[in-house]
Amino acid sequence: MHKIVINLLAILALAPLAATAVTPAPAPPSVAASGYLLIDIDSDRVLAAKNAEQRLEPASLTKIMTSYVLFREIASGSVKLSDEVLVSEKAWKTPGSRMFIEVNKRVTVEDLLRGMIIQSGNDASVALAEHVAGSEEAFANLMNDHARRLGLQDTHFVNATGLPDPNHYTTPHDIVLVTEATIREFPELYKLYAVKEFTFNDIRQHNRNNLLWRDDSVDGVKTGHTEAAGYCLVASAKREGMRLVSVVMGTASEKARLDESLSLLNYGFRFYETHRLYAVADRLSRTRVWMGENEEVSLGLAKDLYVTIPRRQYDRLNARTDVQSQLQAPLSKGQKVGEVVVELDGEVITRQPLVALEDVPEGGIWRQAVDTVLMMLE
């Protein structure tokens, strides 16, 4: 590898901040939960965690994945919001929280989504699962397929509702991954999580996520509760362009899950800040390519690069690119050729693949002969 140092402030054309002493963020608050996690979803920086990889019962947090699968089906055109779903006896009889659909009646997908997301209706969840996959069991297989695709390594679903089952589990980390995917892939449909109430069959029910009333920056996501799982909540909030997601699982009461979630969110926003350092289209450097039609290739990133750091420490950031030595054609656009390393006061805080921004085909016989000699002399 050879290294190229990048001056972050120069590239971003930002005025340097006044020099400040290094002030690390204080320790996160104590959270009374079986497991919890606080993360910035742009940088993937974990700000607080306990048992984040431990398998726990998700209760109705399951419906985040159920909704994600529906959103995928809607985006692909396989399902429409206007589709009418015939309510089965199984859906109608599903115990737990309900939106009060009636057997053998037809209900639109849009209403069922609202009933599932806003009212946490188990009956709506089963009706939607049967509409998409024919049975709840088949739909659970689809949920597990998406879980594997998204990298949920410690998650397994056996139903669409979150009703207890020894083989139905997830982790705080895994539930964050599907929440992130929902927010990124389906920003318009995600807005359903911020709706505070929904009326169906003349029955008005409020969103069980009471953080929507306590904090205007909160726009989701989902509560859950069973006797075994305790009180759970995934919350997402955005302040000044910074989005945090918190997960608390296994708290003792409705009040506790709200208080603990808000405590985590306030901690993250109070003591940290997130910056986009480079966009996907930015050319960070150029480097020599051997044996190619072109002698150089532009290098950049396959996705935007964000960092989350303690507040007022931005002027202490430095970055460098570590590029593979003696790059040889052919190179394909998007091919990894090194990495960008970002440091705060000499400590590495993130790494991201550095990729070729264009194709470089092999050069002709003469170019390859010349470069073979030059490479030996280098």
Is the C-alpha dihedral spanning 75, 78, 81, 85 positive or negative?
Answer: negative
Count of C-beta atoms within a 10 Å radius of residue 203: 11
298 a catalytic residue: no
Please report which helix (H) or strand (E) contains residue 257, including its range: helix 254-271
Among residues 63, 222, 246, 263, the one annotated as catalytic is: 63
Among residues 43, 97, 120, 125, the one annotated as catalytic is: 120
63 a catalytic residue: yes
Among residues 43, 60, 88, 246, the one annotated as catalytic is: 60
Beta bridge partners of 338: 323, 354
Sheet holding 242-251, edge to edge: 45-50, 35-40, 242-251, 230-239, 218-226
30 a catalytic residue: no
Q: How far apart are CA 28 and CA 175, in angstroms?
A: 21
Place of tokens 């963020």: 25
Helix axis angle, 172-185 to 136-150, nearest 10°: 90
Cis amide bond preceding 221, omega within 30: yes
Q: For the chain, what is the largest distance between any 2 Cα atoms, rounded to a whole number of angstroms? A: 82
What is the chain's length? Answer: 378
CA distances from 373 to 165, 168, 172, 173, 364 (A): 67, 62, 55, 52, 15
- Which residues belong to the active site? 60, 63, 120
